[in-house]
């Protein structure tokens, strides 16, 4: 069994006690709510006193939820005046977070958040397993699924190791404050928890400073046949649907993320001179073969040496990277990555679509050739990023074009039918999500339905 079965009366009694001790007593010396602009928050994150405040808040406020009884108490605590989230609530919350979402970096920009929102609502829509969870968890998962990557517009996703907290934990600290008065206290607390835990960390991570980041307790358990702590997994599911290895989304997102990540490392592809040494991952971006090749690890364009010898690394092609993501979704025996997929019929349906799409894309790249139209891929990058594209995304798209132009004609030919298939798949995936949401029985998703057409228009072009 994947779940702990927790049914005993002692847990209910303990949860009730903790509800009184933990939920109903005001926090001492609680910080005032912070409503920073992205620019203000960027400066605050450089302030060590602010960092220490955030670290302390995580340890004192969110870490206790790793205790099953405390988590259960919060999940069960539905205030008597609580009401279901309305369409107006969604609009108000999204307006509040819009400046952060719209300033997101390529692959984590507006388009990523839109697909996350459509993904989480598709998952919750009419899923019988999710419907058994407590309403507080479902509402918190809906919010966390939509906005969990909002910090990427402030601190770049690929410099997560600057100090003790990662992008999920830092953002949880801010979201908790920003949601004050917009949702109930339990939903607010759970939303922050799911945002903090969404990066998939399964073991201790030691930073260059020596600080050790601990993994979070994200284990689902049952109480009276209700799955509990399910919201963490649903938030992770939304990212998994974005990274399903398919041509509809991940194919395009992987290219943008690679180029953008290289830029963060100081690579400027605007200065191509015919002899520029690309980073390894970029050199394999449009390679039409599966598998990885061994290449010297590079830093600032030069090989990294150890004991006088170059350090080698295995560098997968784009399609190998996509295949790896899809394979991990169906790996057996189950891993911490996919161990809960089959409990959610909607997750299984959506992920199976992604896997079938992935197989077709790889088949086309490997087995067909033609005259490619790269503008189809440009259109995909523009749509996937969400309209209007910000300056950073436009720059990244042009740098991806520069990489394509330096790809050999023989390799380019393998992408002709793949580009066409990817564009068709993109529209098909939007239809799949829209249809799934239209069949919703969950009240939170029903409240979201009026926003669907507006969301899709921003990633359709």
The per-residue pLDDT for 7 is: 44
> Greatest CA separation found in the chain?
72
Contact call for residues 292 and 320 (beta carbons, < 8 A):
yes
Contact call for residues 417 and 368 (beta carbons, < 8 A):
yes
Give 32 or 422, the one with higher predicted confidence: 422
Q: Of the candidates 176, 113, 120, 122, which has an alpha carbon nearest to the alpha carbon of residue 147?
A: 113
d(CA 239, CA 233): 10
Contact call for residues 275 and 290 (beta carbons, < 8 A):
no
Which residues in 92-112 are b (16+ Cβ under 10 Å) and which e?
Answer: ebbeebebbbebbbbbbbbbb
d(CA 42, CA 67): 32
The per-residue pLDDT for 13 is: 45
d(CA 423, CA 118): 19
- Taking 3-state DSSP, the helix, strand and coil percentages for the chain, each rounded to the nearest 5, stand at 60, 5, 35
The per-residue pLDDT for 100 is: 93
d(CA 22, CA 28): 12
d(CA 232, CA 242): 16
The per-residue pLDDT for 209 is: 80
Say what percent of the chain tops pLDDT 70: 88
pLDDT band at 439 (very low <50, low <70, confident <90, very high): very high
The per-residue pLDDT for 2 is: 35
Q: Of the candidates 351, 158, 103, 366, which has an alpha carbon nearest to the alpha carbon of residue 236?
A: 351
Helix or strand run (H / E) with residue 460: none
Q: Count the neighbouring beta carbons within 10 Å of the beta carbon of residue 66.
A: 17
pLDDT digits (tens, 9 = 90+) for 91-139: 999 999 999 999 888 988 999 999 999 999 999 999 999 999 999 999 9
Phi/psi-derived region of residue 426, left when phi > 0, alpha when psi is between -120 and 50, beta in every other case: alpha
- Identify the weakest region by mean pLDDT among 154-158, 414-418, 421-425: 154-158
The per-residue pLDDT for 152 is: 86
Give residues with Cβ within 8 angstroms of 457, minimum separation 6.
none
The per-residue pLDDT for 417 is: 98
The per-residue pLDDT for 301 is: 65
Contact call for residues 357 and 317 (beta carbons, < 8 A):
no
pLDDT digits (tens, 9 = 90+) for 205-235: 888 788 888 999 999 999 999 999 999 999 9
Answer whether the bond into residue 333 is a cis peptide, omega within 30°.
Answer: yes
Given a cut of 50, is residue 26 above it in pLDDT? Answer: no
Distance of CA 218 to the CA centre of its chain: 16
Give 452 or 283, the one with higher predicted confidence: 452
Q: Strand 298-299 and strand 305-306: pairing? A: unpaired
Q: Count the neighbouring beta carbons within 10 Å of the beta carbon of residue 208.
A: 7
The per-residue pLDDT for 113 is: 95
Answer whether the bond into residue 17 is a cis peptide, omega within 30°.
Answer: no
Give residues with Cβ within 8 angstroms of 360, minimum separation 6.
247, 421
The per-residue pLDDT for 274 is: 36
pLDDT digits (tens, 9 = 90+) for 352-397: 999 999 999 999 999 999 999 999 999 999 999 999 998 989 999 9
d(CA 445, CA 443): 5
Full-model pTM = 0.89
d(CA 126, CA 461): 29
pLDDT digits (tens, 9 = 90+) for 227-262: 999 999 999 999 999 988 999 999 999 999 888 877
Distance of CA 458 to the CA centre of its chain: 19
């Amino acid at each position: 069994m994947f779940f702990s079965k927790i049914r005993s009366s002692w847990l209910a009694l303990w949860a009730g006690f903790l509800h009184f001790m933990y939920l109903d007593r005001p926090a001492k010396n609680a910080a005032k709510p912070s409503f920073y602009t992205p620019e203000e928050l960027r400066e605050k994150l450089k302030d060590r006193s602010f960092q220490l405040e955030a670290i302390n808040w995580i340890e004192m406020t969110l870490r206790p939820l790793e205790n099953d009884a405390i988590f259960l108490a919060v999940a069960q605590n539905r205030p008597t005046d609580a009401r279901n989230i309305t369409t107006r609530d969604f609009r108000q919350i999204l307006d509040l977070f819009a400046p952060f979402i719209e300033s997101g970096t390529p692959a984590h920009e507006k388009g990523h958040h839109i697909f996350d929102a459509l993904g989480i609502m598709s998952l919750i829509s009419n899923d019988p397993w999710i419907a058994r969870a407590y309403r507080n968890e479902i509402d918190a998962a809906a919010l966390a699924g939509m906005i969990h990557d909002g910090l990427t517009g402030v601190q770049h996703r690929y410099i997560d190791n600057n100090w003790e907290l990662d992008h999920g934990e830092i953002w949880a600290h801010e979201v908790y404050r920003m949601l004050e008065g917009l949702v109930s206290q339990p939903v607010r607390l759970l939303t922050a928890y799911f945002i903090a835990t969404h990066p998939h960390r399964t073991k201790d991570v030691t930073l260059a400073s020596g600080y050790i980041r601990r993994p979070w307790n994200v284990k689902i358990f049952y109480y009276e046949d209700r799955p509990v702590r399910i919201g963490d997994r649903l938030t992770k599911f939304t990212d998994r649907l974005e990274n399903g290895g398919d041509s509809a989304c991940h194919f395009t997102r992987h290219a943008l993320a690679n180029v953008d990540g290289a830029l963060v490392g100081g690579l400027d592809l605007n200065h191509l001179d015919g002899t520029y040494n690309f980073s390894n991952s970029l050199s394999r971006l449009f390679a039409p073969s599966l598998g990885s090749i061994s290449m010297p690890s590079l830093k600032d364009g030069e090989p990294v040496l150890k004991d006088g010898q170059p350090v080698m690394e295995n560098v997968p092609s784009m399609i190998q990277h996509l295949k790896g993501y899809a394979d991990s979704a169906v790996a057996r025996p189950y891993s911490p990555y996919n161990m809960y997929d089959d409990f959610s019929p909607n997750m299984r349906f959506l992920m199976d679509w992604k896997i079938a799409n992935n197989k077709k894309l790889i088949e086309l790249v490997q087995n067909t050739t033609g005259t490619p139209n790269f503008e189809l891929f440009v259109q995909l990058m523009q749509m996937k990023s969400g309209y209007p594209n910000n300056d950073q995304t436009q720059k990244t798209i042009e740098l991806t074009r520069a990489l394509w132009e330096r790809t050999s004609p023989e390799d380019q030919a393998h992408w002709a039918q793949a580009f066409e298939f990817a564009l068709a798949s993109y529209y098909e995936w939007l239809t799949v999500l829209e249809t799934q949401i239209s069949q919703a029985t969950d009240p939170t998703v029903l409240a979201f339905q009026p926003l669907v057409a507006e969301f899709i228009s921003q990633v359709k072009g």
